[in-house]
Homo-oligomer: A and B are copies of this chain.
Amino acid sequence: MDKISDVSLEECSQSKYLKPYRLRFTQNGIEKTWDLMKVNDSLAILVYNPFRKVLVFVKQFRAALYWAKTESYQDNGTTKIDTTKYPGSLGLTHELCAGLVDKDCNIKEIAQHELLEELGYKVPLYKIEKITSYRSGIGVSASKQTLFYAEVSDVMKVGEGGGLVEEGEFIETVEIPVDEGKSFIYDESIAKPIWTMFALQWFYDNKYKVAKAAE
């Protein structure tokens, strides 16, 4: 998954995915502008297998993270990154199973679909519990993200997961023992998004204590 080569960068005046708009408004009598972008709403699911006491994540390569951690050089007018100096592993993250809310169906059904596609778990809807929702990228897009929690068992594992291989997605399932999850949150050597860290903290605050008390 992290065999990355032939990296180059170019300016991109017409991006299908990143399209800036400018909002003009007057705030308390002062004329202002703010540049912003439309980003799809999204969801993410924290997955816990209480039978084997593991938290389940996806591991993947993130181009933006790789770029942010590397330095480029100029080669005949092309901006390149030296992958012998900066290996692809610099772009790997651990994240919750996640997806975009771009389909015209129930948001819990989208969560259910992502659990199957990325992790190979067929989880009944009643096992998918909402944690909370909030606005992400508050300065640029303020898109809505909803967090869910799902307890799974090995009998729900019906597929390999891994994402859409035909679309070139490389996603690896990673299991972390529940006793190690709390130090994982604050281990800065393992890159992870803040919503993954938040959901883990919620888990230790709300679910883990109850599970431990019942043991």
Instruction: Name A residues whose Cβ lies closer than 8 Å to a Cβ of B.
Output: 1, 3-13, 15-32, 34-37, 39, 61-69, 88, 93, 95, 132-145, 168, 170, 185-186, 188, 191-195, 197-198, 201-202, 204-205
Q: Which residues of B contact A201 (CB under 8 A)?
A: 198, 201-202, 205
Q: Closest chain B residue to A131 by CB distance? A: B186
Q: Using Cβ atoms and an 8 Å threshold, which residues of chain B touch A186?
A: 132
Main secondary structure of the interface of A (DSSP, over half): mixed
**A–B complex contacts, Cβ < 8 Å, 22 sampled:** A4-B25, A5-B25, A6-B24, A6-B31, A7-B23, A9-B21, A13-B13, A13-B20, A15-B22, A18-B37, A21-B67, A25-B66, A32-B63, A34-B63, A36-B64, A36-B67, A37-B64, A62-B139, A64-B137, A134-B191, A194-B195, A197-B198
Alpha-carbon gap, A39 to B195, bound state (A): 19
Question: Complex Cα distance A15/B170, Å?
Answer: 33
Q: Which of B24, B62, B142 contacts A65 (CB 8 A)?
A: B142
- Closest Cβ of chain B to A195, distance in Å, is 5
Give bound CA distance, A20 to B188, whole Å. 27
